[in-house]
Structure formats: structure tokens, C-alpha cells
Amino acid sequence: MSYISQNIKRQRILLDISQEQLAEKLSVTRQTVSSWERGKSHPDVMMLESLAAALETDVNTLIYPSADIKNMQAKSQPLSIMFVVKSVFVYTLLLILGGGFAVQFFKSIFGGGIEQEYIYIICWGLVLLVGYIAYAVCVVSEYFAGCYEWTNDE
């Protein structure tokens, strides 16, 4: 669906008029309006002016994307492999750099000697992994929430 298609439909719905009513105002068929809204065809330049007047807006509003469409496009950028690479790098960096602090932290809580340090590093790694998974779930769910716009198609 093109910007013109989306904008015609949105503006028509905002005015609470049917495709049939809009078609009557423009002296075209309802199928023509439906075709415009589905992106199967577009109104010509002369019709755009009449259409804008019938929809109580200006031609630019019909042609260019609205602010909410721009926001949705910004949100729905595809997840890239770089996200995975960067997050694994950060996870590894935190595991290595935080490992020394984690060993001391877990020793102070649980006690134990040198022979148990590998267990503390594994515990630290699991804590980081749970945090990483939670973060990844949030990012992925936000991505999918931005990809889908639930609309009522006529």
C-alpha cells in the first residue's frame, strides 16, 4: 500500500464517510475509490485536487507519508546480524571483565576457596546470560510490535 493509498483511507475514515459516499462526491465508482485505497491504481493530478477537497485536506497530506507512518517505519527497521554480533561481544566483554568482581562478590556471599572459583564464574555467566536473554526478548518484542499495524480494512 502506497502513501497515497494509506492517506486516502485514513482521511476518509477520519471523516467517517464510506467509499460509496466519497465516490459520489468525486463522480467516480466505489470500485475506483477501493482501488486507490488498495494501491491498485492512483488518482491523476486533477483528481488529487478534487480528492483533497472532498477529504477536507490538502494535496500534500495525501501524497506524503504522515508522521505516524514515518514513526512506524523508523520502528520497523529489520533486526540486523550486527545486533547479534554486538550483543555477543558485549556479553563476552562483561563476562571477562566482570568475572574478577563476580568471583569476589560470590566468595563474600557463599564463602569457599580457590577450587570453587570456576563455579562462581559459571554463576556470573548465567546471571549475564539471563540478563542478555531478557534484553533480547524486549528488543525482539518491540521490533514485532512496531512491524504490525492492526487496522480494519474495508
**pLDDT tens digits, one per residue of 5-29:** 888 998 999 999 999 999 999 999 9
Whether pLDDT at 1 is above 70? no
Domain assignment of residue 152, yes or no: no
pTM check: above 0.75: no
Q: Is residue 134 part of a domain?
A: yes
Do 60 and 84 reside in the same domain of the chain? no
Does residue 58 sit in the same domain as residue 80?
A: no
Query: Are 123 and 91 within one domain?
Result: yes
At residue 44, φ and ψ (nearest 5 deg) are: -75, 175
Statement to judge: residues 52 and 95 lie in one domain? no
In a domain, 56, yes or no: yes
**Could you say which of 20, 36, 65 is where a domain stops?**
65
pLDDT for 108 equals: 79
Q: How many domains does the chain have?
A: 2
Q: Which of 45, 65, 85 is the last residue of a domain?
A: 65
Q: For residue 34, what are the domain limits?
A: 3-65
Phi-psi region of 130 (alpha: psi -120 to 50; beta: other; left: phi over 0): alpha
Q: Are residues 58 and 87 in the same domain?
A: no
Q: What confidence category does residue 114 fall into, taking pLDDT thresholds of 50, 70 and 90?
A: low
pLDDT top residue among 153 and 103 = 103
The answer on 80 and 137 residing in a single domain is yes
pLDDT of 153 strictly over 50: no
> Same domain for 55 and 90?
no
* pLDDT, mean of residues 99-104: 76
Residue 117 lies in a domain: yes
Percent of the chain with pLDDT over 70: 79
Q: Is 103 exposed, middle or buried (0-12, 13-18, 19+ CB in 10 A)?
A: buried
Distances (CA, A) of 39 to 77, 101, 125, 152: 22, 59, 51, 16
Between CA 79 and CA 112 the distance in angstroms is: 43
Judge if 90 and 142 occupy the same domain: yes
